[in-house]
Structure 1
Amino acid sequence: MRGNSPVDLNDFALFVAVVSHGSFSAAGRAMSMPKSRISRRIADLEKRLGVRLLQRSTRAMHVTEVGAAFLQHCEAMTSAARAAMEVAEHANARPAGRLRVSCPVGIAHLFLAPVIPKFLDRYPDVRLDLELTNRRVDVVAEGFDVAVRVRTVVDDSQLIVRSFGLSEQVLVASPHFIAAHGPFETVASLQGQVGIGLGVSMGERPAWRVTDPQGADESIEYLPVLATDDVHLIWQTVLAGVGIARLPFNLCAESIEKGDLEILLPDHRLAPHQLHAVFPSRRGLVPAVRALIDLLSQELTRTMTHANQRFSRLLEAAKRG
């Protein structure tokens, strides 16, 4: 930096405004500031920095290479400043207003249903708009405040992620199906069996992937007689003795305890799914978003801990036969 005069950080914001609006005149109108004043301040900023940020002509204005690099940092600074303002403004604000949340259908019934009444009772000024869909939504582009998801791999690098725990998965079938088509004591005995597929195409030859006690991965191909994205329908179909399915343990735990379903290959492990919520970084500062995330974390972390303890007990019982 050249010269001894300090840099006014407001000039960084002016530079962002000039570039985003495409001209000094448009930036001046947007910021209610004379064009000449903005031009002079940008020129002073360039002088203090000792670099040319904008290439000007009588007809057009272009950002220089160093100006483009400088712009990225200026945008980050102004965004951070806005976020800091929101933190201060919302520090003592009560959660209120509309809250848009996306969640898969099965996850909503399994995990959110017990939490939603508590949330609405605790924050009566919040209006919850809950969209149940099994497609992967674009949280930012579609204007959602929060999306609840469950995946084997969390890959939402552009969003803030709050994890609630691991959802164990099990291969199950009814005693009736096992008696008619089993026994199923090895991976080989399950190959080509009738299965119910979650989110698979009927034209595919899908497979369940399991890890054996030595840590080796194995693949079990199955014949899908039903393909659906409704995990509750799969659960009911398996209970009826139609075939084998991979299900979240939380969904079928009671059926296993009652003896209506049996865990297959209990010494093999299926990759657990990570239950989590994602939200844009700035939305996390809004009181209603923060309140929902905190309550979900409190309730679902406890739910997942208890479920995994129950899973361990039932798995050991299944291993003993």
Structure 2
Amino acid sequence: MLNLNDLQIFVQVVDHGGFTAAGRALGLPKQTLSKRVIELERRAGVRLIQRTSRSFVVTELGSELYRHAAAMVIEAEAAENVILGRLAEPSGTVRVTASVPTVQTRLAPLLPRVATAYPKIRIVLHASDRFVDVVQEGYDIALRTHFDPLPDSELVQRRVSTEHFWLVASPSYLDGRKVDDPDQLSGLDGIFARQGQTDWTLTSAHGGQRSVTLAARYVANEGNAILAAAAAGLGVASLPSSMCEAQVASGALVRVAPAWTAGEIATTLIVPSRRGLLPSVRIVADLIAAQLRG
């Protein structure tokens, strides 16, 4: 294959009608340009330019090669301008994937605002609770919620939030009862995330731990289903604070044993690589991280 740099030099030499003028335009000695064209001719196996001290004539094959090489240079410059344009102003498609609850509670209200603020960024949001292969499936950003630390990988991981599980129940279920201490949970019904579960380990702000056991009134392995069951008055539920804080603020739900939490869950933002991160991806990732930290 012919050297692409030599082809570019050949185009410049032909465009400027000689080595001296091309050397001035490129800021290179004419001897250097001459050597590169000679090397190009050697690899091509044909004479491209007939030159003497008094004449400079492009051969028939040289003219044909010039047409193709000049088109190649134009395409290369266009490709470079695409990259420079993307780097100068955030633009292009940013593909984001996250779990269904994270999309519903955090990303659904945020990403439309990002798209409005940056009209040249096109966001593709994918909600899935399955394990997504970020690289193989072509995602720029992934958000993963997890209890245990994520395994080491070549992906770039940024922990963006850690939130506690609150115990909540509807005012109608509590019926005026004030439950401030874990001992007061005895005899209440529980809404659990898995079959056979009947207890939670609670942690106080000072690090103390207590285990509480409730009667399993309702079981659901999806957060919004648990939230709906709690709002319907079926018992006490354990939910991430981000899923129930709006209902607590409105009075639709009440925190039970509010000085205690029932564990915590982390959210980590993942990008395939730190190097070569496009401004559009960096901006969306930073805004997501700021929203989750908030």
Q: TM-score, normalised by structure 2?
A: 0.60
TM-superposition CA deviations, 1:165-194 (whole Å, max 9, x none): 3323210111222239x6645434435743
Secondary structure at the counterpart of residue 113 of structure 1: helix
2:219 maps to 226
- AA partner of residue 125 (structure 1): K
The answer on 1:249 being equivalent to 2:241 is: yes
1:265 maps to 257
What is the aligned-residue identity percentage?
30
1:103 maps to 98
User: C-alpha distance in 2, partners of 1:241/1:284?
Assistant: 51
1:124–1:213 Cα change, 3 Å: closer
Once the two structures are TM-superposed, the CA of residue 291 in structure 1 deviates from its matched residue by 1.8
The answer on 1:298 being equivalent to 2:290 is: yes
Contact 1:146 1:289 in 2 (8 A): yes
Larger Rg: 2
Secondary structure at the counterpart of residue 170 of structure 1: strand
1:185–1:283 Cα change, 3 Å: same
Which deviates more, 219-228 or 124-133? Answer: 219-228
Q: Which aligned pairs between 1:298-317 and structure 2 lie closer than 5 A?
A: 298-301=290-293, 304=294
Q: Which aligned pairs between 1:165-184 and structure 2 lie closer than 5 A?
A: 165-179=161-175, 184=179
Q: Which aligned pairs between 1:23-172 and structure 2 lie closer than 5 A?
A: 92-158=87-153, 159-172=155-168
Once the two structures are TM-superposed, the CA of residue 265 in structure 1 deviates from its matched residue by 1.4
- AA partner of residue 227 (structure 1): A
Once the two structures are TM-superposed, the CA of residue 213 in structure 1 deviates from its matched residue by 5.7
Secondary structure at the counterpart of residue 245 of structure 2: helix
User: C-alpha distance in 2, partners of 1:188/1:140?
Assistant: 48
Contact 1:205 1:221 in 2 (8 A): no
Once the two structures are TM-superposed, the CA of residue 264 in structure 1 deviates from its matched residue by 1.2
Give the RMSD, CA atoms, in angstroms.
Answer: 3.1
Instruction: In structure 2, list runs of 5 or more residues that go unmatched.
Output: 1-82
1:273–1:142 Cα change, 3 Å: same
Once the two structures are TM-superposed, the CA of residue 294 in structure 1 deviates from its matched residue by 1.8
- AA partner of residue 276 (structure 1): T
User: C-alpha distance in 1, partners of 2:243/2:290?
Assistant: 20
Secondary structure at the counterpart of residue 142 of structure 2: strand
Once the two structures are TM-superposed, the CA of residue 296 in structure 1 deviates from its matched residue by 1.7
Instruction: In structure 1, list runs of 5 or more residues that go unmatched.
Output: 1-87, 305-321
Secondary structure at the counterpart of residue 261 of structure 2: coil
2:272 maps to 280
Secondary structure at the counterpart of residue 126 of structure 2: strand
Q: TM-score, normalised by structure 1?
A: 0.56
User: C-alpha distance in 2, partners of 1:95/1:220?
Assistant: 51
Alignment length (residue pairs): 211
